[in-house]
C-alpha cells in the first residue's frame, strides 16, 4: 500500500506539504513519476513546475540519494532500503476545474496534479490522510473514514478530486439505486428544490438509455467563484465544475450553464470514462496520449449533454436550439475549418489545442464534433425510420466495448457508424470528420429531415458585421483578435494583433460603435507593429460574421414531425 499525507502550515502561501510513504520496496533503486497531464485535458500540464522542495528519507530519517532524470521523474538510490518517505511541497494557487488550490477556506486537490506514483506499483491501494481542521467536510467519490480516504489503485486516486472545507453545501438524490451528490463550495444560494428536480430529470434520461450506471455513486463538486468563469472536468465517479459569479448562480443564464456543463460531465461517465479510445486505455500519465477521436469523446458528449436536457424536459425546444446555434456560430466564424479536420485537430490538442494559436489553423473537438454528432443522429434516425439513433449506437459501444474492457479504435467506431447510418454516415465521416468540406449543405440536409432550417441573422456587433473583425475594447482602443479570411479587413491588410485607436477621430466605445451602424464610410486609425496609418473605409451592407437561428419550416410533413419527436422527445410544456 502507498500512503499520502496532506498537510499545510500557512494556507495563505498556497503551499501544500505532501508526504508519500512507500513500504516493502525490494529493488536497489526507486523510480518516482509525477503525472505530466491530466485526463480530460489533452495537453501537457507539466505539474512538476509547482514543486519547490523535494527530499527522500528512509523510515529512520536517513537521507537517500536521488536525482531528477526527466522533467517530472526522479530516481532514488535504495540499496538495502525497503521503506521510503518522500517529502515535497506543491504550490496550489490556481483555481479551475482541473487544478489544485489551497487557502484559508479550503483544501482542493486534483491528485493527478500533485501525487507522485511508482510506475511498477500503480495497481496497489492508496491511503490518503488529510491533516485539516476537524470541522471540514470532504466532497469526494473515494471511500472515506473520517479525514482518511482510500483508493483501490493509483488510477482511482488520480481520478478522484476532493474539496475539504467547512463551508460545503450538500444535497443528494437517488436514481436506480445510485446516490448522486451535489456539492457547492463558495458563496452562493442554491435553489435546492429546483436543482435536485432538474438534475434528477436528466440523470434519469441518461441512465434509461444506457440501461445501467457504471459506478456505485457520483459526485457533482461545484466550485462557485465570485467572478465570471465556466469550466468542467470529468472523472470516473465525479466531476468538478467551476462557475461564476456566485451571486448570479440561479439567474437564467448562469443556471443554464450549470445544467449544461453538469449534463455534459455526467455523460462522460459513459463516454471516455468507460467507452474509451484504445489509445487512451490505459492512461499513460507520463507522456502524450495521442488520439484522433476527440470528435467522439468530446464532440458526442457536448451534443448529448444538451440533447438530454431537452429530452428530459429540463430545457425547452428554444433553449436546446440556442445551444446548437452557438455551435453553428463558433463553427462558421472559425476559418480553421477550411484547413484542419476535427480528427486532426484532436491529435493536435497536444500541440496547441487549448490556445488561440496560429490564426485559422484548427477547429474544436467540442464544436465540430457536436455538429457532426447532431447530423449523424438525424441521419441514423432517418435511415431506421425513427427506430434507432446515435443514443442506441452509444449504448452498443458501452455494452460491446466498455463492459468487455475493450478499447475502441477509429476503425471500430466508423464501422459501427456505417452499420447504423449507412452511406450518409460514411459521407459525413469522410467529408466532415476526416475532411474539411463545408458543413452547410450537410447541416441543411439533416435539419430538413426534421422540418427545420438554418437562417442567417444580422450580427449586432458593428465591427464583426461590417468589417469582419473580432476583438476587445480596452481603454478606448479596439485590439484585433480575429480577422475574417478574405473579408473587408483582411483585404485592407489588417491582422491579428493590430489596434484600431480611433473611429472618425473618436475613441472607441460600445456607444460610439452603435452610432456608426448605418454609416456608409468611416475613417479608422490603425496601429500596426511598425507604423500607424489612417484608412478611409467604404462599408459593405453584407454581414461578415452573421448569427444563426434554427427555425421551423413553414410547411412541415407528418413524417418530419414524427422524426423530430423521435429525435428530441415529447414537446416541452411551458407552465
pLDDT one-digit tens code per residue, 378-398 = 999 999 999 999 999 999 999
Contacts of 522 (CB under 8 A, 6+ apart): 503, 504, 516, 536, 537, 539
Q: Are residues 13 and 64 in the same domain?
A: yes
Give me the mean pLDDT over the 9-24 stretch: 98
User: What pLDDT shows up at residue 570?
Assistant: 62
Cell readout for 107 is 483544501
Q: Are residues 156 and 15 in the same domain?
A: yes
Cα–Cα distance, 111 to 126 (Å, whole number): 11
Q: With CA atoms as reference, report the closest residue to 109 among 200, 40, 234, 6.
A: 6
Residue 142 counted as domain residue: yes
Task: Write out the DSSP string of 370-401.
Answer: HHHHHHHHHHHHHHTTTS--HHHHHHHHIIII
Q: Domain count for the chain, please give it.
A: 3
Q: How far is CA 13 from the centre of its chain?
A: 29
Q: Are residues 8 and 112 in the same domain?
A: yes
Mean confidence (pLDDT) of the chain: 96
Q: Are residues 31 and 177 in the same domain?
A: no
**Taking the chain, what is the end-to-end CA distance rounded to the nearest angstrom?**
56
C-beta separation of 199 from 190 below 8 A? no
Burial of 283-313, coded b for 16+ CB within 10 Å and e otherwise, reads bebbebbebbbbbbbbbbbbbbbbbbbbbbb
Cell readout for 98 is 482541473
Q: Are residues 50 and 69 in the same domain?
A: yes
Pair type for strands 238-244 and 452-457: unpaired
Residue 53 counted as domain residue: yes
User: What pLDDT shows up at residue 518?
Assistant: 84
Cα–Cα distance, 449 to 211 (Å, whole number): 28
Give me the mean pLDDT over the 131-151 stretch: 98
**CATH at residue 94:** 2.60.40.3650
Domain that holds residue 474: 462-538
Count CB-CB contacts under 10 A for residue 372: 26
Residue 242 counted as domain residue: yes
Q: Are residues 10 and 133 in the same domain?
A: yes
Count CB-CB contacts under 10 A for residue 31: 15
Residue 367 counted as domain residue: no
**CATH at residue 469:** 2.30.42.10
The neighbouring-strand residues paired with 244 are 229
pLDDT one-digit tens code per residue, 166-212 = 999 999 999 999 999 999 999 999 999 999 999 999 999 999 999 99
Q: Are residues 12 and 145 in the same domain?
A: yes
Cα–Cα distance, 17 to 9 (Å, whole number): 8
Cell readout for 489 is 479587413
Give me the mean pLDDT over the 300-313 stretch: 98
Residue spans of alpha helices (H) in 16-168: 111-114, 154-158
Band (pLDDT 50/70/90 cuts) for residue 541 is confident
Query: Given the C-alpha cell 448522486, which residue does it identify?
Result: 180
- Please return the burial class of 454, using the count of CB atoms within 10 Å of its CB with bins 0-12, 13-18 and 19+: middle
Burial of 124-149, coded b for 16+ CB within 10 Å and e otherwise, reads bebebbbebeeebbbbbbbeeeebeb
User: What pLDDT shows up at residue 562?
Assistant: 97
Band (pLDDT 50/70/90 cuts) for residue 343 is very high
Q: Which residues of 235-377 form beta strands (DSSP E)? A: 238-244
- Please return the burial class of 552, using the count of CB atoms within 10 Å of its CB with bins 0-12, 13-18 and 19+: middle
Q: Are residues 101 and 119 in the same domain?
A: yes
The neighbouring-strand residues paired with 224 are 243
Q: Are residues 175 and 125 in the same domain?
A: no
Amino acid at each position: 500500500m502507498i500512503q499520502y499525507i496532506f498537510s499545510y502550515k500557512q494556507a495563505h502561501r498556497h503551499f501544500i506539504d505532501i508526504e508519500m510513504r512507500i513500504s516493502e520496496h525490494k529493488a536497489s533503486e526507486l523510480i518516482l513519476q509525477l503525472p505530466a497531464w491530466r485526463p480530460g485535458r489533452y495537453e501537457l500540464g507539466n505539474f512538476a513546475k509547482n514543486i519547490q522542495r523535494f527530499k527522500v528519507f528512509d523510515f529512520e530519517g536517513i537521507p537517500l540519494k536521488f536525482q531528477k532524470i526527466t522533467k517530472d521523474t526522479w530516481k532514488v538510490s535504495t540499496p538495502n532500503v525497503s521503506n521510503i518517505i518522500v517529502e515535497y511541497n506543491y504550490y496550489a494557487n490556481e483555481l479551475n476545474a482541473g487544478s489544485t488550490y489551497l487557502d484559508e477556506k479550503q483544501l482542493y486537490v486534483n491528485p493527478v496534479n500533485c501525487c507522485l506514483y511508482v510506475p511498477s506499483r500503480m495497481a496497489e491501494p492508496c491511503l490518503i490522510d488529510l491533516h485539516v481542521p476537524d470541522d471540514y467536510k470532504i466532497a469526494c467519490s473515494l471511500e472515506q473514514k473520517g479525514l482518511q480516504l482510500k483508493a483501490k489503485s493509483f488510477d482511482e486516486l488520480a481520478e478522484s478530486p476532493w474539496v475539504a472545507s467547512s463551508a460545503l453545501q450538500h444535497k443528494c438524490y437517488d436514481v436506480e439505486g445510485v446516490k448522486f451528490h451535489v456539492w457547492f463550495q463558495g458563496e452562493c444560494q442554491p435553489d435546492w428544490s429546483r436543482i435536485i428536480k432538474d438534475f434528477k430529470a436528466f440523470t434519469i434520461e441518461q441512465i434509461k438509455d444506457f440501461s445501467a450506471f457504471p459506478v456505485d455513486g457520483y459526485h457533482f463538486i461545484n466550485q462557485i467563484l465570485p467572478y465570471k468563469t465556466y469550466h468542467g472536468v470529468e472523472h470516473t465517479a465525479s466531476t468538478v465544475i467551476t462557475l461564476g459569479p456566485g451571486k448570479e448562480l440561479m439567474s437564467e443564464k448562469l443556471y443554464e450553464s450549470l445544467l449544461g456543463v453538469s449534463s455534459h460531465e455526467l455523460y462522460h461517465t459513459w463516454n471516455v470514462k468507460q467507452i474509451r479510445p484504445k489509445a487512451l486505455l490505459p492512461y499513460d500519465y507520463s507522456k502524450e496520449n495521442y488520439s484522433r477521436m476527440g470528435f467522439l469523446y468530446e464532440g458526442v458528449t457536448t451534443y448529448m449533454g444538451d440533447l438530454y436536457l431537452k429530452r428530459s424536459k429540463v430545457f425547452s425546444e428554444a433553449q436546446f436550439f440556442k445551444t446548437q446555434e452557438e455551435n453553428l456560430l463558433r463553427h462558421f466564424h472559425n476559418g480553421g475549418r477550411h484547413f484542419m479536420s476535427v480528427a486532426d485537430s484532436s491529435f493536435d490538442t497536444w500541440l496547441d489545442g487549448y490556445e488561440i494559436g496560429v490564426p485559422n489553423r484548427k477547429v474544436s473537438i467540442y464544436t465540430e464534433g457536436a455538429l457532426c454528432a447532431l447530423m449523424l443522429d438525424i441521419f441514423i434516425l432517418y435511415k431506421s425510420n425513427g427506430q434507432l439513433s446515435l443514443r442506441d449506437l452509444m449504448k452498443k459501444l458501452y455494452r460491446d466495448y466498455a463492459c468487455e474492457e475493450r478499447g475502441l479504435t477509429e476503425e471500430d467506431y466508423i464501422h459501427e457508424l456505417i452499420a447504423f447510418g449507412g452511406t450518409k454516415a460514411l459521407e459525413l465521416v469522410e467529408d466532415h470528420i476526416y475532411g474539411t468540406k463545408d458543413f452547410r449543405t450537410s447541416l441543411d440536409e439533416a435539419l430538413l429531415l426534421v422540418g427545420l432550417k438554418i437562417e442567417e441573422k444580422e450580427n449586432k456587433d458593428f465591427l464583426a458585421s461590417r468589417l469582419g473583425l473580432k476583438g476587445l475594447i480596452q481603454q478606448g482602443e479596439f485590439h484585433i483578435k480575429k480577422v475574417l479570411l478574405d473579408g473587408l479587413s483582411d483585404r485592407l491588410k489588417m491582422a491579428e494583433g493590430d489596434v484600431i485607436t480611433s473611429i472618425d477621430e473618436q475613441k472607441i466605445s460600445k456607444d460610439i460603435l452603435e452610432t456608426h451602424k448605418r454609416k456608409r464610410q468611416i475613417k479608422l486609425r490603425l496601429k500596426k507593429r511598425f507604423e500607424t496609418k489612417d484608412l478611409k473605409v467604404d462599408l459593405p451592407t453584407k454581414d461578415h460574421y452573421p448569427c444563426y437561428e434554427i427555425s421551423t419550416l413553414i410547411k412541415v410533413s407528418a413524417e418530419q414531425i414524427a422524426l423530430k419527436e423521435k429525435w428530441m422527445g415529447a414537446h416541452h410544456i411551458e407552465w
